[in-house]
Amino acid sequence: MEQTTKKRSLSISLTTQILIATVGGIVFGSLIGEWAANLKFIGDIFIRLIQMSVVLLVMTSVSAAVGSGDGQGVGKMGFHTFKWIIGFTLVSAAIGLMLAQVIQPGVGITIADASATYEAVETTSMQETLLGFVSTNVVSSMASGAMIPCIVFALFFGVAMGAYTRQSGNKNMIEFITGFNQIVMNIIKIVMKIAPVGIFCLLANVAGATGFKVVIPMGKFLGALLIGDIIQFVLYVPFTAMLCKVNLFKMPKKYSKMSMMALTTTSSAICLPTKIEDAVTKFGVSRKVADFTGPITMSMNSCGAVQCYVLAIFFMSQATGVVLTPSQMGMAILLSCLMCMGTIVVPGGMVITYTFLATSLGLPLESIAILIGIDWFAGMFRTIMNVDVDVLIGMLVSSKLGELDRDVYNETKVVEY
């Protein structure tokens, strides 16, 4: 008994390990310098080990959640999910607009040689982006990691599987999909054991290869993102706690592990397994709701991203001396909200996103290179808010459906995912 107690006291939680790895990686990279880039491949291995299971996790989670419920229940779950996605996204965009006017992140920035480091890319029209939501070959979408086409297929598959189960009474397929989903989660749990090592190597590379001095000229832009995250957290957490009738002050500490993952990996997809598991085991969200809302909010709810896009638009306009009209400001919010969904199916990442926004509003492209240069740091602030709000939506949906387990939230009951 005494030995067991000693072992427990000596054990360090994964969250603490990740925090130590974060600080250690930054310090090590700063001291060693460019040599730390040699460690990047270890971090890349960790990222790939997570990525190899994410698509399967998304498809099995959504299919199982939709297929195991009746049509009316799935419809309610979908309605409430998208209701909160739209609501939170619009509020986040408005916060970004307000901060852009108050802080003016682009004022004082000199765009001298930005065009020399920026390569023009071919933008994708909004029609093509929306068309990309539906895949002609789901296997190809899985291979390329295009999440929204995979989710669309999983939704249809889940509906069809549920209809087949109700008609035939045969639950073998649902049980198979649910079991497969559990196996994928077990794979990810195994991989997560090496998360501190992977994160240490990734941050050592960033600190050693590029250094953190690159963020100094963009301090106002990154500061605006951070302030926006704080404002959103202060607004959304009490609001959710009030509607869900749970203790507000117990919520922040529940975010520790997923928030550390978001800050260090800057990827909502890589945080998905941790987010779903914590939603069930810490926040009391039912597994069915977590499996449904987790992948969908990962792809379509990006409160951190929409705030970043609005700020980026005003940064580009202010840095190049272009004054946006009120109608252009409204268009900026609309485009930013739409791009939260569109960027996932557009190959090329933030370069194409910023190019699309700039060309749609008639802004010069010269300032894009600066935004790309600090995008890893901006990604930290984008991702943490994306992930945290996803769980709040899961809580709100679960509470509305009467499936929020407050005993789990209050830590008087233990469940496993």
Q: How many domains does the chain have?
A: 1
Query: In the prediction, which pLDDT does 365 show?
Result: 73
Burial (0-12, 13-18, 19+ Cβ within 10 Å), 170: exposed
Mention every residue, 6+ apart, whose C-beta is less than 8 A from residue 130: 342
Q: What is the Cα–Cα distance from 103 to 222, expressed in whole angstroms?
A: 11
pLDDT digits (tens, 9 = 90+) for 253-263: 899 889 988 88
Q: 148 and 345 in contact (C-beta within 8 Å)?
A: yes
Residue 97 belongs to some domain of the structure: yes
Displacement of CA 219 from its chain's centroid (Å): 23
| 268 is a domain residue | yes
How does residue 408 score in pLDDT terms, banded at 50, 70 and 90? very high
d(CA 226, CA 241): 22
Could you tell me if residue 17 is inside a domain? yes
pLDDT band at residue 146, thresholds of 50, 70 and 90?
confident
In a domain, 414, yes or no: no
Q: Are the C-beta atoms of 297 and 394 separated by less than 8 Å?
A: yes
Q: What is the pTM of this model?
A: 0.78
| Residue 217: predicted pLDDT | 67
Residue 322 is part of which domain span? 13-409
Token pair in block for residue 329: 């400001």
CB neighbour list of residue 72: distance below 8 Å, 6 or more residues apart: none
Has residue 118 been placed in a domain?
yes
Residue 417 domain flag: no
Band of pLDDT at residue 204, cut at 50, 70 and 90: confident
Backbone angles phi, psi at 39, to 5 degrees: -90, -10
Measured between alpha carbons, how far is residue 400 from residues 237, 272, 279 in Å? 16, 23, 16
Q: What's residue 1's pLDDT?
A: 44
Residue 250: pLDDT band with limits 50, 70, 90: very high
Query: The CATH number of the domain where 348 resides is what?
Result: 1.10.3860.10
**Token digits for 315?**
């940064």
Given a cut of 90, whether residue 410 has pLDDT beyond it is: yes
For 213, phi then psi, to 5°, come to -70, -20
Displacement of CA 189 from its chain's centroid (Å):
19
Q: What is the pLDDT of residue 6?
A: 45
- Residue 125: pLDDT band (50, 70, 90) is low
Listed in sequence order, the DSSP H helices in 302-374 are 303-319, 326-342, 350-360, 368-373
Angle at 70 between CA 66 and CA 74, to 5 degrees: 50
Is residue 7 situated within a structural domain?
Answer: no
Asked if residue 5 is part of any domain, the answer here is no
